[in-house]
C-alpha cells in the first residue's frame, strides 16, 4: 500500500515537474507581443493597402497618408481581406479577445460576463497562464464583465476614460448621460459633453436631450465650442450630436491618444520599478524578466473626429470624391436595412459638410499613423534592450466606417465599408513571418487570439482550445492551401435587430436572423431558432451583391429573377451556420442562463460549394 502511494506521489510529482519544464521551455522562446487595435478605421486610409489592392496610393475617395504603417507592412505581412465578425465595437472586440464568433459566444450586443458555463477565457487570461505579463492601454470596450472589471483581464490597465479623459487630460468627450433600451433599441435620454481647453479650463454642457428643451446656458456653451473648434455633428437619432469633424483643442502630443502612447512608453521605460501615471497614480513598470503582451486600443478615428491642427491643415484643401447614393439604391434595401439607413443617413449634410467629414476623417487617420510609429518604435527598443523577440499585430479597425457609401456615415451594416478591413503581422523572426508579403486570402478577426497563443508556444490543437473559431495566421501564411477559407461570417444586433452576413470573393450576402429586436431573456433563448430559415421569403430581409461587377455594393439582387436561387442558397448556407452550428443565446442578466442550438452541426465548413448552375453568368 505504501509502495503504491509512493508510486502515485512520484508520478504526480514527475508530471508537475514535466508541465513546469514544458512551460519554462516555452517561456524562453516566447516573444513579446504588441497588439494594436484602431477604432472605426477604414483600410483605405492606408497607402500600402491601396497600393496592394488598386495599384495607387490614394483611396477611391482621394488622398491619404500613412508612412509609418506602410513601413510596418513592409517589415511583415499585409492581409488585404481581413473581416471583422461584427460591425460594432463591443461584439467585435469581444470576438477578437476570445477568438470566438458572436454566434458561438452569445455576445451580439453590449454586455456579457464570464459566469456562464459556455464562456471561455480571453487571450490575455490564457497568456497569463503561460507566464506572460499583460497590459492594456486606451480603449478596451469588449463588454465582458469580470470579477474585477477590466482588471480581470490584464495585469495593468490604463483606461482612456477613467485614467485620461476623466483625469482632466482629454479633449472633447461624452462625460455623462442616461440611456435606455426599449425593445432592445438604443435610445439616448440625455447626454452631456465636456471640453478641456489648452489652458486646462473645463467646460461641460447638455449635448442631447430626448424630452423638453436643453437649457439656454447649455445651448450657448455648446454653440461656442462648435464655433471654436469648427464642429460638424451628425443629426440622426441615436447618433445625433456625434462629432463627424472638427479640429482638436490640443496639438499633437497633448490629445487623448497621445496620452495613451505616453502612458505606454512610460510603462516600458520604467521597467522593473515604480513610477506615477499621468494622473498621478502609483504604478509598476513592465517586468523585464517575463514575456510581455500589450494591447493598445486607440480611440481614433472614432467620433469625435478631431485631428490636431497640424494634420488637419494638410488635408483641408484636398479634394475628395463624395460617394454617390440614390433613391434607386435605397429602394433595393430590404426593410431592415432601410431602418439602419434612417438611423445613420447623411442626406441632410451639404456637400461642403460631407467633404469636411471625409477630410477630417483621413486627417485623423494620418495623425494616428504617427502615433503608431511612435508606439512601435518604443516597443522595439524595449525588446532590443532586453534581448527579446517580438510579434506585432496591427488590427486595422475593430470594424470599418462609411463616409457616405450606402448613404450613411456610420458602421453597423453588412457592407464592405463596415466589415472588411486589413491586418498587418510582423515578427522579429523573419523565418516565421516574412517581410514585404501581401496575402489576399480571407482572414477573420477571430484569428488574432489563436495567432498569439500559438506564437507563445501554446499547442492550440489541444482539446481545451477546441472552442477557438479562428486560425493561426502564421499557418495561413506558410500553408495557405490547408488553411484557406472561402468566406467570412459575422452577426450583430444593434440599430435594426439581429442580422448576419457571409462574404466571399465574388458575393456578399446578409439576412435577418431573428424576428425580435429585444435582448435574449431566459424564456426565449434560441426560441423558434429556425424562423429565419422557414419564414416567408420577404421576412428574411435578404441582401445579395454580385461583387464581380458591383464591388461598391450598390445593387441588391436578392429578388432579381436571375439571382433568386443563389440568394436562397446563401440563406440556407448562412442560416445553418449562424443558427444551427453551435449557436448560443444567453440571458446576460443572469449568471448561467443560455441555450445552444446544433441542428446543423458542421455547417461552418469554410467552403462556398455553390452549385454552378445557379451562379449567373456575367
The gap from C-alpha 132 to its chain's centroid, in whole angstroms, comes to 23
Greatest C-alpha distance within the chain: 88
Q: What is the structure's pLDDT at 23?
A: 45
List Cβ neighbours of 209 (8 Å cut-off, separation of 6 or more). Answer: 189, 190, 191
CATH topology of domain 31-478: Alkaline Phosphatase, subunit A (3.40.720)
pLDDT in tens, 523-563: 999 999 999 999 999 999 999 999 999 999 999 999 999 99
- Please, what is the average pLDDT of the chain? 93
Question: Rounded CA gap, 115 and 106, in Å?
Answer: 13
Q: What DSSP state is assigned to residue 204?
A: E
pLDDT of residue 226: 97
Residue 244 CB partners (closer than 8 Å, separation 6+):
232, 233, 234, 303, 305, 356, 357, 360, 361, 409
Give the pLDDT mean for 301-324. 97
Which range has the worst mean pLDDT, 179-193, 247-261, 319-333, 594-608? 179-193
**Residue range 264-283: mean pLDDT, rounded:** 97
Query: What pLDDT is recorded for position 68?
Result: 98
More confident residue, 148 or 483: 483
Strand partners, 502: 489, 509
Reported as type and span, the H/E element at residue 22 is helix 2-28
* DSSP state at residue 450: H
Residue 184: pLDDT over 60: no
Show me where the domains of the chain are located: 1-30, 31-478, 488-614
- pLDDT per residue as tens digits for the range 422-462: 999 999 999 999 999 999 999 999 999 999 999 999 999 99
Q: How high is the pLDDT of residue 21? A: 46
CA dihedral 344, 347, 350, 354 (to 10 degrees): 50
Q: How many helices (H) and strands (E) does the chain have?
A: 17, 23
CA 600 to chain CA centroid, Å, is 28
pLDDT at 25 over 50: no
With cut-offs at 50, 70 and 90, classify the pLDDT of residue 149: low
Percentage above 90 pLDDT, the chain? 87
The whole-angstrom separation of Cα 365 and Cα 45 is 7
Higher pLDDT residue, 167 or 284? 284
The percentage of residues in the chain with a pLDDT greater than 70, rounded to a whole number, is 94
Pairing state between β 172-180 and 187-196: antiparallel
Summarize the chain as % helix, strand, coil (round to 5): 35, 20, 45
In this structure, what C-alpha cell is assigned to residue 450?
A: 489563436
Instruction: Compute the distance between CA of residue 180 and CA of residue 240 in angstroms, rounded to an integer.
Output: 15
For strands 77-83 and 420-427, give the pairing: antiparallel
Element (H, E) at 354: helix 351-385
Report the C-alpha gap between 288 and 464 in whole angstroms: 29
Mean local confidence (pLDDT), 393-400: 98
Q: Reply yes or no on whether the pLDDT at 350 is more than 90.
A: yes
Q: pLDDT band at residue 20, thresholds of 50, 70 and 90?
A: very low
For 134, phi then psi, to 5°, come to -130, 145
Categorize the per-residue pLDDT at 146 as very low, low, confident or very high, splitting at 50, 70 and 90: confident
The answer to whether the predicted template modeling score (pTM) of the entire model surpasses 0.75 is yes
CA distances from 130 to 30, 62, 292, 456 (A): 9, 46, 11, 8
Three cell numbers, residue 114: 464570464
Cis? peptide before 389, omega within 30° of 0: no
Find the mean pLDDT for residues 71-94.
98
What pLDDT does 9 receive?
54
Residue 519 confidence (pLDDT) above 90:
no
Amino acid at each position: 500500500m505504501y509502495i503504491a502511494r509512493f508510486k502515485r506521489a512520484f508520478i504526480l510529482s514527475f508530471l508537475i515537474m514535466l508541465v513546469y519544464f514544458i512551460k519554462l521551455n516555452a517561456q524562453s522562446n516566447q516573444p513579446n507581443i504588441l497588439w494594436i487595435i484602431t477604432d472605426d478605421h477604414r483600410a483605405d486610409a492606408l497607402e500600402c493597402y491601396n497600393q496592394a489592392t488598386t495599384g495607387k496610393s490614394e483611396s477611391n475617395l482621394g488622398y491619404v497618408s500613412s508612412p509609418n504603417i506602410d513601413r510596418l507592412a513592409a517589415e511583415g505581412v499585409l492581409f488585404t481581406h481581413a473581416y471583422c465578425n461584427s460591425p460594432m465595437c463591443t461584439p467585435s472586440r469581444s470576438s477578437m479577445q476570445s477568438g470566438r464568433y458572436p454566434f458561438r459566444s452569445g455576445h451580439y450586443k453590449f454586455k456579457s460576463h464570464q459566469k456562464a458555463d459556455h464562456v471561455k477565457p480571453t487571450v490575455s487570461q490564457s497568456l497569463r497562464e503561460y507566464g506572460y505579463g499583460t497590459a492594456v492601454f486606451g480603449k478596451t470596450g469588449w463588454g465582458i464583465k469580470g470579477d474585477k472589471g477590466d482588471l480581470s483581464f490584464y495585469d495593468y490597465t490604463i483606461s482612456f476614460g477613467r485614467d485620461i479623459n476623466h483625469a482632466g487630460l482629454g479633449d472633447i468627450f461624452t462625460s455623462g448621460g442616461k440611456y435606455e433600451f426599449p425593445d432592445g433599441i438604443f435610445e439616448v435620454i440625455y447626454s452631456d459633453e465636456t471640453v478641456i481647453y489648452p489652458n486646462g479650463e473645463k467646460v461641460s454642457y447638455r449635448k442631447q436631450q430626448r424630452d423638453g428643451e436643453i437649457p439656454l446656458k447649455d445651448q450657448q456653451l455648446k454653440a461656442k465650442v462648435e464655433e471654436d473648434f469648427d464642429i460638424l455633428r451628425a443629426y440622426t437619432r441615436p447618433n445625433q450630436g456625434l462629432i463627424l469633424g472638427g479640429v482638436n483643442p490640443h496639438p499633437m502630443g497633448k490629445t487623448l491618444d497621445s496620452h495613451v502612447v505616453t502612458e505606454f512608453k512610460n510603462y516600458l521605460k520604467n521597467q522593473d520599478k515604480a513610477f506615477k501615471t499621468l494622473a498621478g497614480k502609483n504604478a509598476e513598470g513592465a517586468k523585464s524578466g517575463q514575456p510581455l503582451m500589450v494591447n493598445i486600443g486607440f480611440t481614433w478615428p472614432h467620433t469625435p473626429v478631431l485631428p490636431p491642427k497640424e494634420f488637419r491643415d494638410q488635408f483641408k484643401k484636398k479634394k475628395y470624391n463624395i460617394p454617390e447614393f440614390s433613391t434607386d439604391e435605397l429602394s433595393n434595401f430590404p426593410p431592415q436595412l432601410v431602418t439602419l439607413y434612417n438611423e445613420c443617413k447623411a442626406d441632410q449634410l451639404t456637400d461642403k459638410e460631407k467633404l469636411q467629414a471625409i477630410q477630417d476623417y483621413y486627417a485623423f487617420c494620418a495623425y494616428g499613423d504617427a502615433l503608431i510609429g511612435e508606439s512601435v518604435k518604443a516597443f522595439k527598443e524595449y525588446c532590443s534592450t532586453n534581448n527579446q523577440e517580438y510579434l506585432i499585430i496591427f488590427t486595422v479597425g475593430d470594424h470599418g466606417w462609411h463616409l457616405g457609401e450606402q448613404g450613411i456615415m456610420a458602421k453597423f451594416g453588412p457592407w464592405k465599408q463596415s466589415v472588411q478591413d486589413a491586418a498587418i503581422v510582423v515578427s522579429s523572426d523573419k523565418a516565421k513571418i516574412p517581410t514585404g508579403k501581401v496575402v489576399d486570402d480571407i482572414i477573420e478577426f477571430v484569428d488574432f487570439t489563436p495567432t498569439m497563443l500559438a506564437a507563445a508556444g501554446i499547442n492550440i490543437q489541444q482539446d481545451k482550445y477546441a472552442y477557438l473559431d479562428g486560425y493561426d495566421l502564421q499557418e495561413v501564411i506558410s500553408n495557405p492551401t490547408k488553411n484557406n477559407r472561402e468566406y467570412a461570417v459575422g452577426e450583430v444586433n444593434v440599430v435594426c435587430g439581429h442580422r448576419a452576413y457571409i462574404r466571399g470573393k465574388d458575393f456578399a450576402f446578409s439576412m435577418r436572423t431573428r424576428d425580435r429586436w429585444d435582448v435574449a431573456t431566459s424564456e426565449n433563448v434560441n426560441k423558434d431558432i429556425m424562423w429565419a430559415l422557414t419564414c416567408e421569403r420577404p421576412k428574411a430581409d435578404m441582401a445579395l451583391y454580385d461583387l464581380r461587377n458591383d464591388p461598391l455594393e450598390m445593387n441588391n439582387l436578392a429578388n432579381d429573377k436571375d439571382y433568386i436561387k443563389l440568394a436562397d442558397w446563401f440563406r440556407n448556407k448562412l442560416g445553418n451556420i449562424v443558427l444551427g452550428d453551435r449557436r448560443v443565446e444567453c440571458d446576460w442578466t443572469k449568471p448561467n442562463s443560455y441555450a445552444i442550438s446544433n441542428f446543423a452541426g458542421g455547417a461552418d465548413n469554410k467552403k462556398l460549394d455553390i452549385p454552378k448552375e445557379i451562379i449567373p453568368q456575367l
